[in-house]
Structure 1
């Protein structure tokens, strides 16, 4: 009887030790689709990636300016989100003023709202000058 009790107790202790020593299960992060973008005007450009999230898009990349002669020669990136039917603008945002490239290249990252179920269906990425004037824009559809 003592042998059976000792065996049962040992089994319980072993099982508890295994469970307590097991690593915690980690929550999986969502994998969102991405789209590369490239908007080039002459020898200046904005290039990067759009990450399509549920109610926003994250825009990361680099923009380049070859002259620091004034705001018209500087470069920023501006982005607009639209619904799936491409009829309603959902939001807009751009690179921070501190990320403005004037005679150099600068990295940026920002989030653009698209607060509808399913998020944005279309994104318009624009290369702007330092005065936020759109120089050229390209459209990118959600994959």
Structure 2
């Protein structure tokens, strides 16, 4: 009788432990921080969102090119060293969707990102720095 009682008690304790250790129903992990981006040069712009991951920065948005323009993104570490960069090719008189990732393969990821609207020859026309939130 004691073995059945002990087994039953052990089963109840195990089930209770599993229930107490389980996450609440519907619980989700915290979202990665984001930053809104708006770099406007004349009628051209880069607008969208930066998503700050642990070892990269995601970019989603739009390049509006009036004339011929490029979008450029650079991720930097806390000491100011460039960790990675991405750019579009030259786009002329168009709205172009942006979706890319900038490498930032260091512990903690990028400390800041610089976003630029460039001319057709990749010369910066306007740049804005966005710090990690």
> For 1:132, what is the secondary structure of its paired residue?
coil
Q: Report the equivalent of 2:126.
A: 136
Residue matched to 2:98: 108
Residue aligning to 1:92:
85
Query: How many Å apart are 1:30 and its aligned residue?
Result: 5.5
Q: What stretches of structure 2 of length at least 5 have no aligned partner? A: 1-24
C-alpha distance after superposition, 1:72-105 (max 9, x if no partner):
xx122111111124x211111123x3xx431121
Could you tell me which residue of structure 2 aligns to residue 34 of structure 1?
34
For residue 63 of structure 2, give the secondary structure of its aligned residue in structure 1.
strand
Structure 1 stretch 49-58 or stretch 100-109: which is displaced more?
A: 100-109
Deviations 1:92-132 (A, max 9, x none): 1123x3xx431121111111110100000110001112222
Across the aligned residues of Structure 1 and Structure 2, the Cα RMSD in angstroms comes to: 1.9
* Higher Cα Rg, which structure: 1
Higher strand share: 2
Gapped regions of structure 1 (runs ≥ 5): 1-24, 68-73
TM-score between both structures, scaled by the size of structure 1: 0.69
d(CA) in 2 for partners of 1:76, 1:30: 33
**SS of residue matched to 1:65:** strand
Alignment of 1:37-116 (within 5 A): 37-67=37-67, 74-85=68-79, 87-95=80-88, 97=89, 100-116=90-106
In the aligned structure 2, how far is the partner of 1:101 from the partner of 1:110? 16
What TM-score results when the alignment is normalised by the length of structure 2? 0.73
